[in-house]
Amino acid sequence: MRRKLFALVLSCVLASSLAAGAQTGVVRPGDQWRDNHGRLIQAHGGGITFWKGMYYWFGEDRSRDNDPAKRYVACYSSRDLMHWRFCGKSLALSDPEHLGPGWVLERPKVFVNASTGKFVLYAHLDDAHYSFARVMVAVSNRIQGPYKYVKSYRPLGEESRDIGQFVDDDGSAYLIFESRPTHGFFIARLTGDFMNVEKTCFLPAPLEGGALVHLRGTYYVVGSHMTGWKPNPNVYATAPALTGPWTEFRTLAPAAARNYGSQSTMLLKVAGSKVTTVIFMADQWHPDALWDSRYFWMPLEMGAGNMHLPPPRPWSIDATTGETIFSAAGR
Ligand code: DGJ
């Protein structure tokens, strides 16, 4: 009787902690992912900044109880990439350029400027029709913010919508931006103060959700086709240098899988003591409930200029060694 009661109490405790969304230390691509408070992580279209031994995950905060007139960027921190602590809303912005109802702030990314000591937040800023097509810049003295709006601009004078971030092994920082009239996207190095960009490379491929990684002397760039919130087969190309020459684009996964319902947002390189793992970070958008859009993170299979996104299954990483472990059990 006592044992039965104990088992019942234990199962109730487990069920309630799962319902409360306890962090499990396992990534389940496409499942809900919760922070240290048990709340859904709000870091959509996000980016990761590694600083002083800590990973900081910034992204669109689409919480249902947000003030609908404002746009928000949330910040989470983690040492192990599996458990995320909410650090607060880094940005809570009122329409800075009078863009009107439905104005857009998407895909925020934070860069660390070692020479100025400032943290610089970039995001896609737009009106409801996506015709403003600029980046916005905000600055803070603390990584978690609060960030102060500085300006918006068109990088290289071009229309800019989806943005991505890349920091090379030598510390140089780049903005990736899609530019529809050019039928392609740019990789552009940030200037010394990170307030502007200079052209590094133009890729004549109409792709958004741009992401880049540098692995063993090869650059891999990833992007998705322009199908709004709907998933499509994401593609990649490689080059020996950022300036090219770039190969043709190839699909990351079987085309019929449509990237397992996800859209690229970042390639995160974890250079561990034993292996280097590259994590494909993507979003599974729920346009009618953006607050419940899911994260699709999977380690990529890479080598010899090839990149393959395997089908989703639960996994975890040892952020010190870089080694990944896949759960034997199914979902
Ligand atoms: C695709 C982009 O990648 C998203 O960030 C968002 O802008 C949607 N389009 C809007 O349709």
Residue 133: partners with Cβ closer than 8 Å, 6 or more residues away: 126, 154, 159, 160, 161, 180
Question: Distance, CA 17 to ligand 1 centroid (Å)?
Answer: 34
Cα separation, 331 vs 329, whole angstroms: 7
| Per-residue pLDDT at 23 | 75
What ligand 1 atom has the least distance to the C-alpha of 106?
A: 5
CATH architecture assignment, domain 28-326: 5 Propeller (2.115)
CB atoms < 10 A from the CB of 258, how many?
A: 17
Pick the more confident residue, 31 or 329. Answer: 31
H/E run at residue 184: strand 184-190
First and final CA of the chain: distance in angstroms?
Answer: 33
pLDDT tens, residue by residue, 181-221? 999 999 999 999 999 999 999 999 999 999 999 999 999 99
**Do you find a cis peptide bond into 155, omega within 30 degrees of 0?**
no
**What percent of the chain has a predicted confidence (pLDDT) above 70?**
92
Alpha carbon distance 144, 108 (integer Å)? 13
Q: Look at residue 17 and tell me whether its pLDDT is greater than 70.
A: no
Residue whose C-alpha is closest to residue 198's, from 238, 233, 230, 155: 155
pLDDT surpassing 50 at residue 248: yes
pTM score: 0.93
Query: Which position has the token pair 């490379």?
Result: 201
Q: Which residues line ligand 1 (CB under 6 A)?
A: 45, 106-107, 162, 208-209, 228-229, 263
For 61-81, the pLDDT digits (tens) are: 999 999 999 999 999 999 999
Task: Kindly list the domain boundaries of the chain, sorted by start residue.
Answer: 28-326
Mean pLDDT for the chain overall: 93
Q: Is residue 95 scored above 80 in pLDDT? A: yes
279 has a pLDDT exceeding 90: yes
Longest CA pairwise span in the chain (Å): 75
- Tokens standing for 284? 């599974």
User: With 50 as the cut, is the pLDDT of residue 10 above it?
Assistant: no
Ligand 1 geometric centre to CA of 228 (Å): 5
Query: Measured between alpha carbons, how far is 46 from 73 in angstroms, rounded to an integer?
Result: 9
Percent of the chain with pLDDT over 90: 90
Contact 283, 45 (CB under 8 A): yes
| Residues 315, 81 contacting (CB under 8 angstroms) | no
Lookup: tokens for 245:
């020459």
